[in-house]
Amino acid sequence: MEQKIRVRFAPSPTGGLHLGGVRTALFNYLFARKHNGTFILRVEDTDQTRFVEGAEAYINACLRWCGIEPDESPLKGGPHAPYRQSERKPNYRAFAEQLVDEGYAYYAFDTPEELDARRKETANFQYGQATRLSLRNSLVLTPHEVSQLLQDGVPHVVRIKVPEGENVYFNDMIRGDVNFDTSIVDDKVLLKADGMPTYHLAVVVDDKAMEISHVFRGEEWLPSAPVHILLWKYLGWEASMPQWAHLPLILKPDGNGKLSKRDGDRLGFPVYAMNWTDPKAGTLTEGFRERGFLPEAFVNMLAMLGWNDGTDRELFSLTELIEAFDPDRISKAGAKFDFEKAKWFNHEWIKSLDAKALAPLVKPALEAEGIMVNYETYLEQVLTLIKERCTLLPDFVAQAAYFFRQPQEYDVAAVKGKWNTDKSVFFKNYADNFTGEGDAAAAEGAFKSLAETSGFKPGELMLPLRVMLVGGKFGPGVFDIALLLGADEVKNRITTALEVINA
Ligand code: GLU
């Protein structure tokens, strides 16, 4: 029987969603879709000190924006609900106790003050093989003392007892053979004094309960893998352990270390998927969406950070990514983030979307600038004409504005140097004769012949015409603009501009 593919994205709701987190979600999603599997969102909120109001709703919104919606989640429910770990609290203690009973874990009664004192005494103090016998835990205390402390309700945690001198081995889908010597692994807390599991216990218990078949997660979790693997073994579940795939880091543009939100602030680009307002500090961090990225481009760009299909191809829709995705082609090496490249993806996607798809994205931005769009078809014609020139969505405002209102300023200097009365007469004449009919080539032909019969080289009149219609030296083909504006508007604009230039 073919294995059921079940993968999960398991974020902790602690703030904005970093693009690396979205990539993790994406790779899980692609793998699930490719194999007709199930993509689960599990919210890992057991660390209540790091819980941030609104972060879960924000994660849902980001996934929705990217088009990578989970099949099972806190919102959607599913056969393994609840999908929020804080609501699964009663599920974990029994496993921690089972581990203690079987000698794979122990109770530790050290107070935070005692541990602090040890940390001060010993540089790089680790609770583990070298130190555990000199601390206050059930490995050292007598069974009677331990039951007394438990009975008295003395605060305690449960820690894994990492074995000495063993090698923890696993095969990572991306990294191949991975080995850890247990001497470097510390005795991680599994159950906290408040009865909540730590991430380490909860992740294993829930991956088992939710029948997770493959774990795609960031490389920063690699050092935790030996603890998880020991737990799978100690809980007697080794046969159903998921396959591991630790995704390469997303690096700063210069390749020196992991890309952080601070790098974005420093270098002026977003790192979060969408705008995030920290509810305590009230600070707003800009997201890719609000910077003017299309979700198609954002997702496409993320997929290429550490993955390729084996060819030079870079442009993929989500459906094409599902088709092409193969974890064997995820690279081990970190992927440098390049904002210019991210913009390139967006430009390519803007060019490939048709005006109907772009219109609802651009219209609100225009309206926010006080530009009212009354005719959808007109907007669509404008978008078709200018989309090549737009890299980010806000670029459409500058590029489209003059199609909806007269230029507010004219680059008179660009025209004035070679200006004379004859040119003024020519344009007055042109305005009177411009019909607004035919296509751009015909309009250009008519303009040129009028220029020639009036004794001008057409080339010297093109720039003034552009300035009169749009205000400056920008925009697509000037006759395309003129035809879209229509005869009346062209006449108006030339008349107004002549007054300004001749003033
Ligand atoms: N809760 C962890 C995180 O915040 C999940 C790590 C994992 O996927 O195992 O990223």
Write out pLDDT tens, residues 384-404.
Answer: 999 999 999 999 999 999 999
Same domain assignment for residues 378 and 481: no
Choose the final residue of a domain: 176, 205, 234: 205
Is 274 part of any domain? no
Is 268 part of any domain? no
Closest ligand 1 atom to Cα of 207: 9
**Closest Cα to atom 3, ligand 1: which residue?**
11
What is the band of 1 on the pLDDT scale with cuts at 50, 70, 90? Answer: low
Annotated catalytic residues are 261
Is 75 part of any domain? no
In this prediction, what percent of the chain has a pLDDT beyond 70?
100
Same domain assignment for residues 153 and 97: yes
Q: What's the confidence (pLDDT) of residue 220?
A: 95
Q: What's the confidence (pLDDT) of residue 307?
A: 98
Same domain assignment for residues 197 and 95: yes
Same domain assignment for residues 382 and 435: no
Choose the final residue of a domain: 184, 205, 226: 205
10 lines ligand 1 (CB under 6 A): yes
Choose the final residue of a domain: 364, 390, 416: 390
Same domain assignment for residues 370 and 460: no
Ligand 1 pocket, mutate which of 85, 199, 215, 224 (most atoms under 8 A from CB): 199
Closest ligand 1 atom to Cα of 44: 1
Is 429 part of any domain? yes
Mean pLDDT of 272-294: 96
Pairing status of strand 105-108 against strand 157-160: antiparallel
221 lines ligand 1 (CB under 6 A): yes
In this prediction, what percent of the chain has a pLDDT beyond 90?
97
* 200, 219 contact by CB (below 8 A): no
Closest ligand 1 atom to Cα of 12: 4
Report d(CA 118, CA 111) in Å as an integer.
Answer: 11
The Cβ-side half-sphere exposure at 91, using a 13 Å CA radius, reads 21
Is 63 part of any domain? no
Q: What's the confidence (pLDDT) of residue 305?
A: 98
- Please write the tens of the pLDDT for every residue from 23-45: 999 999 999 999 999 999 999 99
20 lines ligand 1 (CB under 6 A): no
Does residue 144 carry a pLDDT above 90? yes
Does residue 379 carry a pLDDT above 70? yes
**Closest Cα to atom 10, ligand 1: which residue?**
11
Does residue 162 carry a pLDDT above 80? yes
Same domain assignment for residues 365 and 419: no
Which of helix, strand or coil describes residue 309? coil
Same domain assignment for residues 111 and 199: yes
Question: What is the whole-number distance in angstroms between the Cα of residue 384 and the centre of ligand 1?
Answer: 43
Is 118 part of any domain? yes
Same domain assignment for residues 102 and 180: yes
Instruction: Give the per-residue SS3 of 132-156.
Output: HHHCCECCCCCHHHHHHHHHCCCCC
217 lines ligand 1 (CB under 6 A): yes
199 lines ligand 1 (CB under 6 A): yes
Report d(CA 374, CA 389) in Å as an integer.
Answer: 23
* 330, 381 contact by CB (below 8 A): no
Q: What's the confidence (pLDDT) of residue 48?
A: 86
125 lines ligand 1 (CB under 6 A): no
Closest ligand 1 atom to Cα of 21: 10
What domain count does the chain have? 3
11 lines ligand 1 (CB under 6 A): yes
Find the distance separating the first CA and the last CA of the chain, reported in whole Å: 84
Question: What is the whole-number distance in angstroms between the Cα of residue 12 and the centre of ligand 1?
Answer: 7
Which of helix, strand or coil describes residue 223? helix
Domain of 154, CATH number, reads 3.90.800.10
Is 272 part of any domain? no
What is the span of the domain harbouring residue 373? 353-390
Q: What count of other Cβ atoms lies within 10 Å of the Cβ of residue 5?
A: 17
Report d(CA 16, CA 287) in Å as an integer.
Answer: 9
